[in-house]
Amino acid sequence: MPTTLFDKVWDSHVVKKINEGPDVFFIDRHFIHEVTSPVAFLGLEKRNIDVMFPERTFATADHNTPTINQHLPVQDPLSANQLKALETNAAKYGISHWGLGNPKNGIVHVVGPENGITLPGMTIVCGDSHTSTHGAFGAIAFGIGTSEVEMVLSSQCIMQPKPKKMRITVNGKLGKGVTPKDVALYMISQLSAAGATGYFVEYAGDVFENMSMEGRMTVCNMSIEMGARGGIVAPDEVTFSYLKGRERAPKGAEWDKALAYWKTLKTDAGAHFDLEYTMDGAKIEPMITYGTNPGMGMGITGHIPLAEQAGDSKASYEKSLQYMGFQKADGMLGKKVDYVFIGSCTNGRIEDFRAFASIVKGRKKAKDVTVWMVPGSHIVEQQIREEGILDILTEAGFQLRQPGCSACLAMNDDKIPKGKYAVSTSNRNFEGRQGPGSRTMLASPLVAAAAAVTGVITDPRELIPDDVA
Amino acid sequence: MAYDKFTVLKSTAVPMPIENVDTDQIIPARFLKATERKGFGDNLFRDWRYNPDGSPIQDFVLNNPIYKGKILVGGKNFGSGSSREHAAWAIYDYGFRCVVSSFFADIFKNNSLNIGILPVQVSAPFLEKIFTAIEADPHTEFEINLPEETITILATGEKESFAINHYKKENLLNGYDDIDYLQAMKDEIQSFATQTMY
């Protein structure tokens, strides 16, 4: 029987099927960070049980770390305490730990792939909903809660009902200035913030086939924002060439063996999906959100839709617009921007900084805009320096910060002040997400750059030179 | 962490007829810095419940003494966003044992079941009936019957069934958790691990 890529990977990881219950599901790789792991380790202590396979878990500090002066002791005692707990727990159980100051440190969903820890056909979990990022490699990857972190530490398994399957096919040539982030925001705006709840999504079609690994990671990252547990893209030559030579990727004969397996990881013709969507890539514009969930997105030249077109109840819709200080039928172009944030597990990779710099080059930062540029990892930071991007950014009046989750969730000091408008390349525009009272508009690195140099919401296509596709 | 068994719950309910209540609202990220599971109930719905100076926001439902009970009733897509189990902890620690909605986000639902909160998914019309019943009389009681998988508006006798998988139901009825189950399977897991690709 023809089967899907998702079925192939899922079914090969079921240790046991429980009648009328979840599957006992084996996890190949487990990432942990400082915020959602401490209570899981306490649980192990209380039960007096050990970590079953410490070599399958990787720890990095990211959610709560400062993005300036990382060489100094962390000022906030609670944050320092969490970072210390991660370090202590990792050392106690023999788990590899890339803490603050380590040259490999960075956001968990950036460092996993860039070091070759994430591989096709794996099952990957982390106590973070954006674990869906790793699906870009043809892995089944999703976020879990702290109780499940404790399960994985103690037994390398979780109890998981198998999700339903959805496929979204996007074909066609993307227009000028349309990036993977726009494709993601477009799909979410079509399906709504809950449109894929209960499903795991395979992304298919030439738009994804022609995308870089960084782009596929951006798309899979945002799967959770339409409610899906995760997204997956079939591995191909783009995947294999990205992985070849990465530090933890297989080498020599191991590589050949792995490659032969990876090439089997695709959906068979005629395989069944519970739900299918097809979209036209040529119709996608640079996107921006206007509301307080990621489903409230629109083409940048459009107008804020009326409640009836937006899908949610009138009361929820109006609450959302009131929070943002916007009126229905408003256009977004020309709206004042106070902050710009480029970074996060969604758009904190080298390709994102290249895109940002392509617009900034030869221009200056707009007055009255505060711009936070936060690389996803030290490796990304190093690439930014080596490729000369830092020079372009510095010349334009920008400063690069140090890696971490930063203003995406504003757990550290990087908080957008109350009432201020931020164009953010991150993943969530919830009320207060980037700081109490903050107003977030999600967009691509190109839209962020256009706002950073003009001080208002600007169509990036107007700033891209004609000779660039 | 062990939790109290859940069988039949009879209680008034707190209404929150808002859609897409995300976990950043349930507990904002800046309150996730603890290394123990303590005190999260105090910060439940922090920014909807308190002004920046710490004074209560009077028209928020948790600050209205008329509404109390062990059941929280929310609009569709409740618990979307971050995987933080702290959201479920905050709801449990505040004193709720059941959340009712017409639609739950997946991770929130899993987290709730894992810590002893019963997520009850009802139809959209039944959810409206619940909100209407509370609006008519904030002291109206509901019965959540886990063995029978039903929710009843006691004042009117209107009843609806809800679905829960058999394994999770047994766990809640008995106060078991998954870690006990997985610990008992370790030999099987060990031998499975030797045959995996990675």
pLDDT for A313: 82
Whether the CB-CB separation of B107 and A197 falls below 8 Å is answered with no
CA distance A60 to A106: 7
CA distance B79 to B88: 9
pLDDT for B95: 97
CB pairs under 8 A between A and B: 202
Q: Check if A411 contacts B (Cβ < 8 Å).
A: yes
CA distance A380 to A342: 13
C-beta contacts of A255-264 below 8 A and 24+ residues apart = A258/A119, A258/A120, A258/B197, A261/A120, A261/A121, A261/B197, A262/A119, A262/A120, A262/A121, A262/A138, A262/A235, A264/A8
Per residue in A45-75, pLDDT tens?
999 999 999 999 999 999 999 999 999 999 9
* A positions 122-181 inside 8 Å of B (CB): 122, 127-129, 131, 143-148, 150-151, 154-159, 161, 163
Q: Check if A230 contacts B (Cβ < 8 Å).
A: no
pLDDT for A440: 98
pLDDT for A4: 98
Buried b or exposed e, range B126-148, using 16+ CB within 10 angstroms: bbeebbebbeeebebbbbbbbee
SS3 A68: coil
CA distance B74 to B62: 13
Task: Using an 8 Å CB-CB cutoff, list chain A residues near B196.
Answer: 13, 26, 28
CA distance A272 to A264: 18
**Strand pairing class (A96-98; A339-342):** unpaired
- Beta-strand ranges (E) seen in A216-373 are 230-232, 275-280, 287-289, 297-299, 339-342, 370-373
Residues 6 or more apart from A458 whose CB is under 8 A from it? A333, A334, A447, A450, A451
Q: For residue A262, how many C-alpha atoms fall within 13 Å in the half-sphere facing its CB?
A: 27
Beta bridge partners of A58: A31, A96
Residues 6 or more apart from A308 whose CB is under 8 A from it? none
**How far are the Cα atoms of A3, A273, A437, B68 from residue A410, in angstroms, in the given order?**
42, 38, 12, 32
pLDDT for A459: 98
Write down the ipTM of this complex: 0.96
Tokens of B41: 């109930």
Low-confidence residues of chain B, pLDDT below 70? 1-2
pLDDT for B2: 66
Whether the CB-CB separation of A376 and A349 falls below 8 Å is answered with yes
Residues 6 or more apart from A40 whose CB is under 8 A from it? A32, A127, A146, A147, A149, A150, A153
The continuous run of DSSP H or E covering B174 comes out as helix B166-174
CA distance A42 to A85: 10
Tokens of A432: 């207060």
**Strand pairing class (A29-32; B8-11):** unpaired
**Beta-carbon neighbour count of residue B42 at 10 Å?**
13
Instruction: Name the pLDDT band for A84 (thresholds 50, 70, 90).
Output: very high
* A positions 66-125 inside 8 Å of B (CB): 76, 78-79, 81-82, 85, 119, 121-122
CA distance A296 to B139: 36
A176 pLDDT higher than 80: yes
Beta bridge partners of A288: A298
Whether the CB-CB separation of A407 and A150 falls below 8 Å is answered with no
Instruction: Name the pLDDT band for A306 (thresholds 50, 70, 90).
Output: confident
As separate numbers, helices (DSSP H) first and strands (DSSP E) second, chain B gives 8, 8
pLDDT for B1: 53
A310 pLDDT higher than 80: no
Asked whether the beta carbons of residue A35 and residue B20 sit closer than 8 angstroms, the reply is no
Residue among A22, A42, A49 minimizing CB distance to B165: A22
Instruction: Name the pLDDT band for A468 (thresholds 50, 70, 90).
Output: low
**Residue labelled with tokens 């640079």:** A286
* B positions 89-128 inside 8 Å of A (CB): 103-107, 110-111, 114-115
Task: Using an 8 Å CB-CB cutoff, list chain A residues near B111.
Answer: 145-147
Per residue in A2-20, pLDDT tens?
999 999 999 999 999 999 8
CA distance A324 to A290: 7
pLDDT for A275: 98
As a 3-state breakdown, chain B gives helix, strand, coil percent values, each rounded to 5, of 35, 20, 45
**How far are the Cα atoms of A106, A261, A263, A283, B107 from residue A198, in angstroms, in the given order?**
30, 28, 28, 27, 10
SS3 A205: coil
**Strand pairing class (B8-11; B142-145):** antiparallel
* Mean pLDDT value of segment A264-280: 98
Per residue in A284-299, pLDDT tens?
999 999 999 999 999 9
A41 pLDDT higher than 60: yes
* B positions 24-43 inside 8 Å of A (CB): 24-25, 28-30, 32-37
Asked whether the beta carbons of residue A193 and residue B29 sit closer than 8 angstroms, the reply is no
Whether the CB-CB separation of A37 and A63 falls below 8 Å is answered with no
Residue among A18, A122, A157 minimizing CB distance to B167: A18
The alpha carbon of residue B76 is apart from the nearest alpha carbon of chain A, in Å, by 9
pTM of the model: 0.97
A97 pLDDT higher than 90: yes
Asked whether the beta carbons of residue B196 and residue A13 sit closer than 8 angstroms, the reply is yes
Q: Compute the Cα dihedral for B186, B190, B195, B198 and give only its sign.
A: positive
Which burial class, exposed, middle or buried, applies to B114 when counting CB atoms under 10 A from its CB (0-12, 13-18, 19+)?
Answer: buried
CA distance A235 to A262: 7
Whether the CB-CB separation of A210 and A171 falls below 8 Å is answered with no
Per residue in A358-388, pLDDT tens?
999 999 999 999 999 999 999 999 999 999 9
Beta bridge partners of A204: A169
A250 pLDDT higher than 70: yes
